[in-house]
Structure 1
Amino acid sequence: MTAAPLAHADTLVLDYLAALWAASDDLTPEARDELMNTVTGYIALRHDLADDPARVISRLGPPEQLAEAVRRGGTPTHLRLPAPSFPPSPPRPSRGTGADHAAVALLIAGAFILPVVAPGAGMLMATGSASWTPAQKVAAWVLTTGSVAGALLTALVVAGFSSGLGLLVLYMGACAGSVIAGLALLAGLRR
């Protein structure tokens, strides 16, 4: 098997690195390694930015000058690459605390057991939580109190009829808003 011939740009880079290695033979091994790693990183970074290797090498200057600059006191300033900056990681989504889940449970299931009391308690717990935005909390309050108010109005209308169906409608009306609010808050916890 034969290897493919090197591209002209690769040959330029390898020749430059070989000349730099030869020019820095009197440096300590640590200083020489740091110089070679810095120059190699510089060339690789510029190559990744689609820069022409010949231009990059001309910006570096002669290998002898780089080695001399290291002998005088360290890596030349034009070679110092900025520390890599990583974009801030997005905040981890909160899955909510036990109190948040209890508030949702009171809104969804508690509405059927204690139609006015359980949703009120669930909303008070949700209001004190940091898991939801103020807009989500207001929407849940409107849904919860609106359904109770609607159920009370329905109770006034149905009171004259006092049928079993009327009481069922009253009960379901009192539960509907808090169930919807609980499901909306639960979806907010999962995001």
Structure 2
Amino acid sequence: MTSGPYTSDATPLAHTDALVLDYLAALWAATEDLDPDLRDELMTTVADYIALRRSAGGTPAEDPAQILRRLGSPESLAAAARRGRMPAHLRRPVPAPAVPTAPSAGAEYAGLALLTAGAIVLPVLGPFAGMLLISGSPRWSAPHKTAAWVLAAGPALLGFALVVLGVLFGGGPDSLVVAYLMMLAGGFVAALTLLPGLTARRHYPQGY
């Protein structure tokens, strides 16, 4: 073989391999006047094109001689590169941009359920878990989520403090009932303020 990055060793080559290497060597020589980066890009693209179709196998179109005929002469590829464009059959397909899908409303309904029914079973943990789900939803704006956090957490913290004070200072059952109702009220009020957002337009991030 001649100069260039595509050289052979002492191992005898199959006829089809020799055809490919001769073609690449001719292309290397024909593109001597190109910008080095453009020359390397063309050589790499052509080599990948040949390798991809040879590895597919199974049809006459994958025969190296046929592949080279489909590529065209090295001179025609070099001329196209000089005109500043890659031949159409060598262009790599551009992946189609992913279309974002709207998040499911299941987590949002679950969040509201935890704020209400969850507060009955777990007065503090239920609303807290519900607000975590609400916070990750694009349906409500940041001010709405902040207000819901205040409405849910404020009464829950006050109720919890009332329970602690009742235990420390011997408060009766009435104080526990009041604390429990306060915890429930916070979750329910927060859910009521968020409920209209289920039918309103979602606040999707940019790109949705």
**Normalised-by-shorter TM-score class:** 0.3 to 0.5
What TM-score does the superposition give when structure 1 sets the normalisation length?
Answer: 0.47
Query: Highest relative contact order (Cα 8 Å, sep 6+), 1 or 2?
Result: 1
